[in-house]
Structure 1
Amino acid sequence: MMNKENKISADLQRFIEKFEPNKYKTLARGIEIRGINDIHRSITLAENLIEKMKLKLTINHNAEMVSYGGFEVNNLA
């Protein structure tokens, strides 16, 4: 089995540098940020940062992710 390295877009890299997540997992479309205590505040901060920096990213969050304090930041298609 080959290791496929997921490439991080320039917009996603800029987001990571500014948001400074403690833990994140690289996904095919973006990243999953984990271990957030105040999930609603963090999602709001992430959305504001994306809007302010005019990044081509989107936030994805569902009820399952609440259990581990996570949300996804994905590249727009």
Structure 2
Amino acid sequence: MSENHKIDLDLQKFIKAYEPNKYKVLKSGIEVRGITDIHRGLAFAKEVIIRLKLKLSINHTAEMTVYGGFEVLVN
């Protein structure tokens, strides 16, 4: 993770709760990568967002499935 990017407080809470092994910081959020069970990973990410009442959304495309990834974006 680059120190040049300021990470939104809700994203910081998400990262701490979800504990992704690999993620890339984006302008509008993060991209979580390397999830082997993408369905379980997405379900857990949604659960974390709801439980912590975070102002975040999840974006996932078929292409991201290839590398086991999804985006968590700041609303």
The alpha-carbon deviation at position 7 of structure 1 amounts to 1.6
The alpha-carbon deviation at position 6 of structure 1 amounts to 2.3
Corresponding position of 1:33: 32
Does 2:42 align with 1:43?
A: yes
Question: Whose Rg is larger?
Answer: 1
In structure 1, the residue corresponding to 2:47 is in which secondary structure?
A: helix
| Aligned-pair Cα RMSD in Å | 1.5
Corresponding position of 1:68: 67
Corresponding position of 2:23: 24
TM-score between both structures, scaled by the size of structure 2: 0.94
Does 2:18 align with 1:54?
A: no
TM-score between both structures, scaled by the size of structure 1: 0.91
Runs of 4+ in 1 over 6 A off after TM superposition: none
The alpha-carbon deviation at position 46 of structure 1 amounts to 0.4
Count of residues in correspondence between the two structures: 74
Corresponding position of 2:10: 11
